[in-house]
């Protein structure tokens, strides 16, 4: 893992970051409408991965339920889009369930600004409560992971069971406009793509500044030894609560961007399996390196899209094999691999420039004589 103080790691990270941003900005010039929409979905996943990396890579809190926060952000936005599509009428899934009026808790979502605010506020509020209660009770490690996994299961059961209010298993879909603009228009999809690029870069820069600040160093210290941080006079409860809430807010933002480009959100996208997949993105890219989280999310989902076209039933097996492979052979992920290769290259070139390879050359010359 390329640590914050590593010169080689910083150089590799900076180079990869600039290359990725350049490719993202130029993507609409050479991608079809479908591929551009697909890439926009991957970017929303990359934003989500940044939030997971904050709590797992830097704070040591492995969440297996981040699909809940992602789903809440998506559902808030989806309900606004659905209500706008009905033109003031009742959504179809509510009519099919026998409802005659819009439930009171969905009525404010007729306003786009409210839906977008709640897409972040709801995940943040839920995560803040969860983070405070678990941190105060000193629940960490595998117990925290199991608790977040249970949270994902509870929300899936809740959203599936409340068919009249959430769309049940089918979720919410069939959107036509966003703020009065045709959602299917290529120009609108391009704008949504660039909005995703903007928020990805903005989220990355914010997280980068955060982890390189004093606050970020305390997060790393909590990851390495929470008791030592506590003995140093800091209260880990507030740090862990804040970073979990921040991570959930980032996930909610990602969910809002996701649903506008994909056009559907359902309980299947916020359950245990999707939450585990999200962790695998970060592991493949390299946890503790923000660039790795972005790269891992994009590459794994691009592979998923391509793999499912040829082997639709084998993806989960491949994903499990990939995770095992990364854990055993490349525990630092892709960015860690590049950092090690870069370090080895600099070491070899340094040895050559200082003449340390002469010892290996002299026996060859003596053999010739």
Lookup result for tokens 């640590």: 3
Share above pLDDT 70 across residues of the chain, in percent, rounded to a whole number: 90
Residue 87 has what pLDDT? 84
Query: Quick check: 366 pLDDT over 50?
Result: no
Residue with tokens 């600099």: 346
Distance CA(190)–CA(99), nearest Å, equals: 37
Each residue's pLDDT tens digit, 271-300: 999 999 999 999 999 999 898 999 999 999
CA distance readout (Å), 284 to 255, 295, 335: 21, 9, 9
Q: Where are the domains of the chain?
A: 7-350
> What is the rounded average pLDDT of the residues 228-250?
95
> Is the pLDDT confidence value at 1 over 50?
no
Residue 311's pLDDT is what?
Answer: 78
Give the strand pairing for 177-178 and 172-173: unpaired
Q: Is the dihedral of CA 211, 216, 220, 223 positive or negative?
A: negative
Checking if the pLDDT of 13 tops 70, the result is no
Beta bridge partners of 172: 265
Contacts 24+ apart (CB under 8 A), 125-133: 125/245, 126/68, 126/69, 126/72, 126/248, 127/69, 127/244, 127/245, 127/247, 127/248, 127/249, 128/241, 128/244, 128/245, 128/248, 130/244, 131/240, 131/241, 131/242, 131/243, 131/244, 131/245, 132/237, 132/241
What does the radius of gyration of the chain's CA atoms come to, in whole angstroms?
23
Backbone angles phi, psi at 273, to 5 degrees: -60, -50
The DSSP call for residue 57 is I
192-231 core/surface letters (b: 16 or more CB in 10 A; e: else): bbeebbebbbebbeebbebbeeeebebbbbbbeebeebee
Average pLDDT, the chain: 88
Q: Which residues contact 309 (CB under 8 A, 6 or more apart)?
A: none
Are the beta carbons of 2 and 286 closer than 8 angstroms?
yes
> Which ranges of 263-314 does DSSP label H, i.e. alpha helix?
272-285, 290-310
- Nearest Cα neighbor of 68 from 139, 130, 135, 142 is 130
Tokens coding 113: 């600004």
| pLDDT surpassing 60 at residue 341 | yes
**Higher pLDDT pick, 314 / 66:** 66
Write the DSSP string, 126-156.
HHHHHHHHHHHTT--THHHHHHHHHHHHHHH
Mean pLDDT of 75-98: 92
- Could you read off the pLDDT of 137-172 as tens digits, one per residue? 999 999 999 999 999 999 999 999 999 999 999 999
Q: State whether residue 177 is helix, strand or coil.
A: strand
pLDDT at 356 over 60: no
User: What are the residues facing 264 on neighbouring strands?
Assistant: 173
The Cα 161–Cα 40 span in angstroms is 31
User: Could you tell me which of 129, 113, 136, 111 has the C-alpha nearest to residue 68?
Assistant: 129
User: From the CB of residue 247, how many other CB atoms can be counted at a distance below 10 Å?
Assistant: 28
Rounded to the nearest 10 degrees, what angle do helices 112-136 and 66-86 cross at?
160
| 315, burial (CB in 10 Å: exposed 0-12, middle 13-18, buried 19+) | middle
For residues 73 and 120, the answer to whether their CB atoms sit within 8 Å is yes
Range ranked top by mean pLDDT from 242-251, 271-280, 346-355: 242-251
Quick: pLDDT tens for 14-30: 776 788 788 889 999 88
């Amino acid at each position: 893992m390329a640590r914050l103080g590593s010169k080689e790691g910083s150089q590799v990270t900076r180079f990869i970051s600039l290359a990725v941003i350049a490719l993202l900005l130029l993507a609409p010039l050479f991608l079809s409408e479908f591929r551009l929409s697909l890439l926009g979905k991957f970017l929303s996943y990359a934003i989500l991965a940044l939030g997971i990396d904050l709590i797992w890579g830097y704070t040591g809190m492995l969440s297996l339920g981040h699909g809940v926060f992602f789903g809440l952000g998506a559902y808030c936005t989806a309900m606004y889009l659905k209500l706008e599509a009905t033109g003031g009428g009742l959504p179809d899934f509510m009519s099919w369930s026998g409802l005659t009026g819009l439930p009171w808790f969905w009525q404010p979502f007729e306003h786009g600004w409210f839906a977008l605010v709640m897409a972040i506020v709801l995940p943040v509020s839920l995560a803040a409560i969860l983070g405070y209660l678990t941190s105060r009770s000193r629940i960490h490690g595998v117990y925290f992971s199991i608790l977040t996994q249970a949270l994902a299961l509870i929300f899936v059961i809740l959203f599936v069971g409340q068919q009249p209010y959430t769309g049940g298993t089918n979720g919410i879909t069939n959107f036509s406009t966003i703020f009065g603009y045709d959602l299917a228009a290529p120009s609108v999809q391009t704008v949504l793509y660039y909005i995703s690029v903007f928020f990805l870069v903005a989220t990355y820069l914010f997280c980068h500044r955060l982890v390189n600040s004093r606050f970020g160093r305390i997060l790393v210290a909590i990851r390495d030894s929470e008791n030592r941080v506590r003995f140093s006079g800091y209260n880990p409860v507030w740090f862990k609560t804040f970073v979990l809430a921040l991570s959930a807010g980032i996930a909610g933002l990602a969910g809002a961007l996701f649903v506008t480009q994909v056009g559907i959100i359902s309980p299947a996208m916020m359950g245990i399996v999707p939450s585990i997949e999200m962790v695998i993105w970060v592991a493949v890219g390299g946890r503790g390196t923000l660039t790795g989280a972005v790269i891992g999310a994009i590459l794994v989902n691009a592979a998923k899209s391509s793999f499912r076209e040829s082997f639709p039933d084998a993806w989960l097996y491949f994903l499990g094999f990939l995770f095992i492979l990364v854990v055993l052979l490349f525990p630092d992920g892709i960015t860690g691999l590049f950092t090690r290769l870069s370090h080895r290259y600099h070491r070899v070139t340094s040895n050559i420039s200082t003449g340390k390879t002469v010892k290996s050359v002299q026996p060859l010359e003596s053999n010739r004589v």
